[in-house]
Amino acid sequence: MSQIPVITIDGPSGSGKGTVTGLVARQLGWHVLDSGAIYRVLALAAEQSGIAPTSEAALRTMALQLQVEFVDGKTLLGGADVGRAIRTESVGSYASQIASLEGVREGLLQRQRDFRQEPGLVADGRDMGTVVFTDAPLKIFLTASAEERARRRYLQLKEAGHSVNLPALVEEIRARDERDTNREVAPLKPADDAIVLDSTTLTIEQVVERVLAEATTRGLGS
Ligand SMILES: Nc1ncnc2c1ncn2[C@@H]1O[C@H](COP(=O)(O)OP(=O)(O)OP(=O)(O)O)[C@@H](O)[C@H]1O
Ligand SMILES: Nc1ccn([C@H]2C[C@H](O)[C@@H](COP(=O)(O)O)O2)c(=O)n1
């Protein structure tokens, strides 16, 4: 397998993976893979085409042909900017449903591995350490309580101008955890060799500092 280094950051929704991934990658000068964004774009495309979240064969074909690009901080689907549209809880929930299908995961696997480019990659998702980059020299499993994650998501969505309801968000996050953790294919769980970090009472800076310290210990990014 490739020797290009990868740091995997897996964990449940709202644990801070995306934020920490971006900051760690910036500090190291590495690339970023937001694998959840790819699942979300597929979910949006499927919704728009009226494909049911259970239509595995159609979703696998769509996964293999998906015209998704990440350009200058924008997420493009067939050239259209869908960065805002994919961030709703409804698309997140649809993404979580289709992500339980083996055909969908297979259809997206190589696309994710192609992000492994010099000088290195920080990969954010649910199965980065357990399936996609099993040989990563540093694997982090980032978590936080469901209430704290819902609170963070509430503030984030409100700030982005979405109308939100905190108790509904807690329920939504719990339902998504349940689906992501209990699915048969690539369930959300720490890799055996992952470092588990609970960020419930940590600031973003503290989490980033800890990840960078673990990277330094392994001689990464120096
Ligand atoms: N340690 C932290 N303390 C406080 N707020 C945080 C912390 N980590 C992340 N946040 C905030 O929580 C929100 C969710 O974080 P982020 O989007 O990075 O989570 P995520 O795990 O990538 O979620 P998802 O998997 O659903 O995309 C953001 O607004 C972020 O600024
Ligand atoms: N590697 C991944 C990334 C994402 N998913 C699924 C599960 C999530 O509920 C959904 C949206 O991801 P998010 O943007 O919230 O990180 O996509 C997955 O199964 N595997």
Q: Which whole-number Å values give the CA distances from 32 to 5, 23, 112, in the listed order?
A: 12, 10, 11
Among the residue ranges 52-56, 67-71, 156-160, the one predicted with the least confidence is: 156-160
CB-based pocket (< 6 A), ligand 2: 13, 35-36, 39-40, 92, 95-96, 99, 125-127, 176, 180
Which residues are part of a known binding site for ATP?
Answer: 11-19
Find the 187 Cα to ligand 1 centroid distance in Å: 20
Superfamily in which the 6-215 domain is placed by CATH: P-loop containing nucleotide triphosphate hydrolases (3.40.50.300)
For a pocket test of ligand 1, which of 15, 75, 143, 148 has the largest count of ligand atoms closer than 8 A to its C-beta?
Answer: 15
The angle formed by the CA atoms of residues 194, 175 and 126, to the nearest 5 degrees, is 25
Q: Looking at ligand 1, which atom is closest to the CA of residue 204?
A: 1
The pTM of this model reads 0.94
Per-residue pLDDT reduced to its tens digit, 64-123: 999 999 999 999 999 999 999 998 878 988 998 999 999 999 999 999 999 999 999 999
* 88 or 147, higher pLDDT: 147
- The b/e string for 13-40 (b: 16+ C-beta within 10 A; e otherwise) is bbbbbbbbbbbbbeebebbbbbbbbbbb
